[in-house]
Amino acid sequence: MSRPPCCRRVQATPPAGVFKPVGVPLRDLVRAVLTLDEFEALRLADFEGLYQEEAADRMGVSRPTFGRVVESARRKVADALVNAKALVIAGGTVELAGIDEAACPSCHRRLAEGDATTPETARRQRCPQCGCRRRRARFERED
């Protein structure tokens, strides 16, 4: 029996949760699921150009673990591109680092003092600016 994955630190959720080929309805596509920690690994390694050691420190994992995560992410993205699959970014055992509990995860607007009495009620409210429903700062893998 394998060990459960440790919680990995990510800076933010992606701006879009699904990427798909143009002109094909999502319901007709096979989906490749990229977890939030894999997305973060790609962002740190390929977008920011960090070395694996520094990127692993930012995510709160070991360097070999980071290497496995980024390799898995690259394989999934390549599969989605080569085989014209929808790429869905969701799931994973992660915690959002540096996120204000009383701020909207989409537009980052901070709640006014009277908008929420506790962080728990702030998570359940709709944002008055963009209308999105606040999400918890921790996501669990959906297997």
Q: Considering the chain, what is the average pLDDT of its residues?
A: 77
What is the rounded distance in angstroms from the CA atom of residue 21 to the CA atom of residue 2? 35
Question: DSSP for 109-133?
Answer: PBPPTTT-SSHHHHHHSBPTTT-PB
What is the tens place of the pLDDT at every residue in 72-93?
999 999 999 999 999 998 877 7
Whole-number pLDDT of residue 110: 59
Q: What mean pLDDT comes out for the span 36-50?
A: 92
Q: Which domains does the chain have, with CATH numbers?
A: 1-98 (1.10.10), 100-135 (no CATH)
**Which residues have CB under 8 Å from 2's CB, separation 6+?**
none
* 45-49, 62-66, 129-133: range with lowest mean pLDDT: 129-133
> For the whole model, what pTM was predicted?
0.66
